[in-house]
Chain A
Amino acid sequence: MAGPGKVLKPPTRPPKGLRKAKLETPAAASPAVGEPTATPVAAALVPLARAGGAPAAPAPKPTRAARPRSASRRKFLNDAFAIPAWLTFFSGTGLFLLGFIQRFMFPNVLYEPPTTFKAGFPGDYAVEEFSQKFKELYRVWIVREPTEIFALYAKCTHLGCTPNWMATEDKIKCPCHGSGYYRSGINFEGPTPRPLERVKVSLADDGQLLVDTSVHYQYELGQWSLPGSNLKYS
């Protein structure tokens, strides 16, 4: 397979260091021939040092390239500086990415109903009314008793299902395991260990009921006597 490609093979190129020296200092290239002590690498370094404003390089030292290649590489790998440096670099980069991902998981906007809402005027509720108006969106029943009005959180205290209001039986019943509560929220049957929780009610500036589902009042802790747990009618 002696094609013309073999015949036109280009001549061998000079070593890399020499080529560089020739390119950067055409004037210095020819005197370099007269300096047998200067290695190609040192010759290339001299113009670089001059360009940086540093004084001219002193007598040429033995270079890295002069040592056996494998030894210098092993030296580098064993370098007490290089290993911690690479470890720092990769762990730092990894931690940064993990930080991005961690922050990514907490969005700045939630598409959920707010925890505070206005539930109309107290006069909108008839005495003895058990209102389911806000259960769907806010998980809260508004209960109007003869002397007070309060907001009952519709979350079973057994395992957290949403119970149902059974109007004909005048009780709250959980479909999951049968826990039952009176309209006051006190439990009377089923596996639940404690009454339902109430959430904070207050009056807004415009006189409407203001419900805050982030503040809870537990009967067994005596919190149903606290001011936010209900509104008294005088």
Chain B
Amino acid sequence: MKDTLDNLIAKLLDLALNNQLVRSMYKTPWPTNRRSRIVTMLGSMLLHLHPTRIPRTGLPVGFTLCLGGISFFLFLIETITGILLMFYYRPEVSHAYSDMKALEFDVPFGILMRNMHRWGAHAMVISVWLHMLRVFLTGSYKPPREFNWVIGVVLLTLTLLLSFTGYLLPWDQLSIWAVTVGSNMGKATPVLGSEGPFHDLALIKFTEMNDARFILLGGRFVGQGALLRFYVLHCIALPFVAAWFMAFHFWRVRKDGGISHSL
């Protein structure tokens, strides 16, 4: 019985792996030893994302608690649900709020996608903070990983900016006034803000029509310009930059000695 099963599995594997489609994707034959396994991993786009080897002490989940992986997983959820929400959302003052309501009441599973996006965003902020706390408590920021900590700080900032820009998009009273308050901080930018410190030292005179806050809002107050700018930042610019830094971050994890583990 056991032998028959093993034979069957071997036959199925042979059928699945030794055909032209698989051979065209994986140039090397089925790996049978340590070296050929590494060569196969490195030669495949999907597999090379995984390390060719990990330390035995990196296996227990209790050391890292997989918080970075959870953050990345949540980013993927945000991307998928965000793209779906974009099918029904128009960043216009006249439509944004009703489109959000239509997603909740007219579109099947729209409320599920919207809430996954919203709660996933909250969870991502929390998991990124916890990831940072874990890295700090285990001392994983120490050399040779100190530059990856810097990249992580950039990623934390991008996560917070993604949350901030996404906050405006429902276009209800809460989001408009929250962003009004938040963007007023732009006025207090040193030199570049119309009311910030040293603003009179700038070469040109900064007013509310040309300072840092104006660039963010595309206007004097939170209106159509701000909605469109926050939408473009939220859906294109910030995810693109975040994805780039994430790739950098993961690459540095590998180059700095692999997954963080107890010594």
Q: Say whether B112 contacts A100, CB under 8 Å.
A: yes
Sort chain A's interface into a size bin: 10 to 19
Sort chain B's interface into a size bin: 10 to 19
Give Cα A141 to B260, complex, Å.
Answer: 72
Q: Say whether B106 contacts A100, CB under 8 Å.
A: no
A51 on the interface (CB 8 Å rule)? no
Q: Which residues in A have their C-beta under 8 angstroms from that of B113? A: 100, 104
CB distance from A106 to the nearest CB of B (A): 7
Give Cα A80 to B2, complex, Å.
Answer: 10
Q: Say whether A104 contacts B110, CB under 8 Å.
A: yes
B143 on the interface (CB 8 Å rule)? no
What residue in chain B is nearest A106 (Cβ atoms)?
A: B108
A103 on the interface (CB 8 Å rule)? yes
Q: Which of A80, A104, A107, A109 has the most CB of B within 10 A?
A: A104
Q: A80-B5, A100-B109, A100-B112 are in contact. Are A105 and B87 (CB under 8 A)?
A: yes
Q: Which residues in A have their C-beta under 8 angstroms from that of B5? A: 80
Q: Say whether A107 contacts B112, CB under 8 Å.
A: no
A65 on the interface (CB 8 Å rule)? no
Q: Which residues in B have their C-beta under 8 angstroms from that of A100? A: 109, 112-113
Interface string of B100-117 (1 = CB under 8 A from A): 001000111110110000
B84 on the interface (CB 8 Å rule)? yes
A214 on the interface (CB 8 Å rule)? no
A-B contact pairs, 5 of them (CB 8 A): A103-B108, A104-B107, A107-B110, A108-B107, A109-B106
A residues adjacent to B (C-beta < 8 A) = 80, 100-101, 103-109
B residues adjacent to A (C-beta < 8 A) = 5, 84, 87-88, 102, 106-110, 112-113
